[in-house]
Amino acid sequence: MKFFNTLVLALPAAQAMPGVIPRNLHTNGVEIRDEATLEKLRASHAYTLEALRNQTIAAREGAGSEHDKRLVIFGLGGFAFIEVAGALGGTIAGLQNKLLKMFTGDKQEQIWHNWGYCRTYFQTQGGGNCETRTYDREAQDATAVHQDGPCAWNDPENNDPPVVFYEGDQGIGKYSIQYTATDEYAWDGLEGTETCAAEGLCNPSYVFYREGYNMILNTWQSQGEISACQYSGGEDCKGLCSSGVKDQFQSGGVVWGGDCAIPCESDTELPEE
Ligand SMILES: *[C@@H]1O[C@H](CO)[C@@H](O)[C@H](O)[C@H]1NC(C)=O
């Protein structure tokens, strides 16, 4: 019997209480509402999804065409780099290796609650009422909380689910969140979407916007496994996120939510040329 099990089991409980909203919280970060900025970000978001779709299809067909070289799939489920400016090639590959080492190195017990990383928590209730929190590295309490997002997916047969953009969250950089499924619909704008196991809205996709490249995190494709963490002594939890039903019995509908480790803005700066 190895002794690390106790350590792995004991740490996460003490580390995070994602269900508790801290009071008197100083919240920074805002939803982006400037139309000119939104227009650019929406185009960047659409490009990111299209490039990911192309790459996924090419990978499935065992092909690799010229435009696929602009994209690098991170060796971690549900996470990908998308180059948007071109000519970053080797630099992006270096950054990818750095993040891969960072996210898959040792001490990976429940990486989504590990203070050594930036983190996010997301939650919906009754098909809407979305809340997004982010945590800067080493922060115990959320360093940004957003409850203002118009996230509900109305008339899924005829509409894409809305994308909500944020900026100014301490340590996180610009990002967007888009819920991709309800219990009845899984959006067809991304490969591999999955309907929710419970009634409501679930499975967000995050995009992080950087100079010349974006990163996409499809949270439902990056589910870590607590059992995997325990069996491997915390060395391989197989994903960045853990999500599911948080409260089945609350009035107003099922509360669904999850946590992920995410790259901090400072983790993803390109080296000076
Ligand atoms: C995706 O593939 C289509 C068809 O090959 C191509 O026209 C388009 O430019 C590609 N988009 C991206 C973002 O790579």
pLDDT score at 230? 57
Length of the chain equals 273
- Does the residue 13 lie in any domain? no
Number of domains in the chain: 1
pLDDT at 120: 98
Q: Which of these ranges, 16-20, 172-176, 192-196, has the smallest mean pLDDT?
A: 16-20
DSSP secondary structure string, 68-112? GGGEEE-SSTTEEEEESSS--HHHHHHHHHHHHHHHHSS--TTGG
Amino acid identity of residue 57, one-letter, is I
* Residue 8 located in a structural domain: no
Is 144 contained in some domain? Answer: yes
- Ligand 1 mean position, distance from CA 48 (Å): 11
Q: Is 16 contained in some domain?
A: no
pTM of the model: 0.84
Q: From atom 9 of ligand 1, which residue's Cα is the shortest distance away?
A: 67
Tokens of 55: 């790459």
Q: Any idea what DSSP says for residue 149?
A: -
Mean pLDDT of the chain: 82
| Pick from 170, 151, 171, 173: nearest CA to 160 | 151
* pLDDT of residue 76 exceeding 50: yes
Determine the distance separating the centroid of ligand 1 and the alpha carbon of 45, expressed in angstroms.
Answer: 14
In a domain, 259, yes or no: yes
Q: Which amino acid is at 31?
A: E
207 vs 149, higher pLDDT: 207
Q: Hey, what are 39's tokens?
A: 């227009």
Residue type, 11: L
* Sign of CA pseudo-dihedral 29, 33, 39, 45: positive
> Has residue 216 been placed in a domain?
yes
Closest CA to 205 of 263, 157, 236, 162: 162
Q: Is residue 20 part of a domain?
A: no
- Order of strands across the sheet with 213-218? 30-31, 164-167, 175-182, 201-209, 213-218, 79-83, 71-73
Say how many Å lie between the CA of residue 47 and the centre of ligand 1.
Answer: 9
Residue 101 is part of which domain span? Answer: 30-268
In a domain, 71, yes or no: yes
